[in-house]
Amino acid sequence: MGSLRKAISKVAIVGIIVGIVIIAVAAGLLLVGRGGAATTTTSPTTVSPSTTATTGKKIRVAILFDVGGRGDLSFNDMAWLGAERAKKDFGVEVDYMTPPSTADMVPMLEKLAKERKYDVLILVGFLWTKALNETADKFPNQKFALIDATTGVERPNEVDILFREQECAALIGIYAAGMAWKLMQEEGEKGPVKIGAVAGMDIPPLWKFHIGYLFGAKYFEKKMGIPVKFYWVYTGTFKDPQKGYQTAWQLLQQGVKVLYGLAGLTHVGMFNAVIDWNEKGYGKAFAIGQDASQEWYAPQYIPLSGAKRVDVAVYTVIKMVVEGKWKGGIHVLGIKEGGVGIWDLDGVKTFAELAKEWGKLGKGLTPEKVVEIVKELREKYIPPEVKELADELKEKIVKGEIVFKTPRSHDEYEKIIEELEKGNLNAALEKGSVS
């Protein structure tokens, strides 16, 4: 934790702002309904008993969603999935709550903490950051957990869960380049492989995604001997689907075959551009989602989604309480911990089922049909050698042979990107090297 303490103010910025992306994704998928070769996260080992060691009292957990509540097909629904799995595995009691507005967050936290009814209060998303900072010190005996954000203050009664986004994005970079290469072969096109991203704002969380995605693309280029032309566009917004559509369309016109969405509601517009590009006969292209599985939105054109496993984060917190291994501070989840990766077909089905439950699944689609379409796309457009390449990088990450840098300034970020564009993959690494 020593190095984390020194960097905590920097990490705070990263953790807090990253929630903007997620909230926008959730809003986008709610408002714009239309109709993964993968990393699999296995269920953690069941632990019992589900009672506190000191009192024998049954463990009780409160999940506090952001103001959107259930049905967002993103962070809130993932939090619910993780808590439900913990309830089954550990026998804990779980209650779910949604504040009517951000103004209600502090009163809700204070009321729950005063009642001493719950062993841990789990807060979903960055919108809870301010409220937690105003509350946590008043109730030192109440455990709090903040998901995908940090208050920037290290407290014994507070756990903050963050993610290593570079690891996920690096795998996406390999798969995106591989799918684009396959599409070019299918269409008889020559020249470099072209992949791109429609990003939101130029902020620290997107720096990490940018570094990882470009690293993966250049890893593919180095190992496969196939040149990759990489496009990264900041739209400046997470809330404008029309901007996302226009940006994506321009990239598609430049020959980009695969687009990665990192812009919340804005990248829902990117999805729509890719759909229209295909259906209007301009060519063939794919989109890639992020955070929750988004293949259900248009499974014939979205074969993959990067995973940010809020469900795993929630489960991890509950497991800490059940096992009596609570430790305040920042905890970071990557591929090794099952916190990031690429959604497997079980995950694709789960979110297609949720989309159906909330009336968002496209006409004529069933969860089973979504999985069937996605499975066929992955088998057809992800060549075996590309899958092997991604598995190779994943193994190095899991073993700790490769550790990505987290830039602490915009200048450092720009220098890393500049070196990656030259093919210097080691510029992105804190540990390890690529020869």
Q: Region 216-227: what's the mean pLDDT?
A: 97
What does the mean pLDDT of the chain come to?
A: 88
Q: Which residues have CB under 8 Å from 118's CB, separation 6+?
A: 60, 61, 62, 95, 112, 142
Intrachain domains 2-164+309-340 and 165-308+359-428 with the same fold:
yes
Residue pair 345/115 in contact (Cβ under 8 Å)? The answer is: no
- In three-state secondary structure terms, 262 is strand
**Is the peptide bond prior to 140 cis by the omega test (within 30 degrees of 0)?**
no
Taking 80 as the threshold, does the pLDDT of residue 4 lie above it? no
pLDDT tier, 435 (very low <50, low <70, confident <90, very high otherwise): confident
Query: Rounded to two decimals, what is the model's pTM?
Result: 0.83
Distance CA 291, CA 12 (A): 20
Instruction: Using the predicted structure, report yes or no on whether residue 207 has a pLDDT greater than 60.
Output: yes
Average pLDDT over every residue of 5-11: 37
For domain 165-308+359-428, give the CATH number.
Answer: 3.40.50.2300
**Per-residue pLDDT at 160 exceeds 90:** yes
Q: What is the pLDDT of residue 3?
A: 38
**Contact call for residues 322 and 92 (beta carbons, < 8 A):** yes
Q: What is the pLDDT of residue 328?
A: 96
**Residue 80 and residue 357 in contact, taking contact as beta carbons nearer than 8 Å:** no
Considering just the CA atoms, what is the radius of gyration of the chain in Å?
A: 21
pLDDT class of 21 with cuts at 50, 70, 90: very low
| pLDDT of res. 24 | 38
Element holding 61 (H helix, E strand): strand 60-64
Domain boundaries of the chain, sorted by first residue? 2-164+309-340, 165-308+359-428
Average pLDDT over residues 28-44: 36
pLDDT at 56: 52
Whole-Å CA distances, 12 to 79, 151, 229, 401, 404:
21, 6, 33, 26, 18
Name the helix (H) or strand (E) containing 144: strand 143-147
* pLDDT tier for residue 115 given thresholds of 50, 70 and 90: very high
Q: What is the pLDDT of residue 120?
A: 98
Q: For residue range 394-420, list pLDDT tens digits in order.
A: 999 999 999 999 999 999 999 999 999
The pLDDT tens digits for 323-337 are 999 999 999 999 999
SS3 state of residue 291? strand
State the pLDDT at residue 32.
39
In the beta sheet, which residues pair with residue 269? none
Residues 225-254, mean pLDDT to the nearest whole number: 96
Q: What average pLDDT does the segment 47-60 reach?
A: 57
Classify burial at 148, counting beta carbons within 10 Å of its beta carbon; exposed 0-12, middle 13-18, buried 19 or more.
buried
Task: Summarize the confidence of residues 230-237 as an average pLDDT.
Answer: 96
Question: Is 41's pLDDT higher than 50?
Answer: no
CATH of domain 2-164+309-340: 3.40.50.2300
Tens digit of each residue's pLDDT (9 = 90 or more) over 260-288 = 999 988 999 999 999 999 999 999 999 99
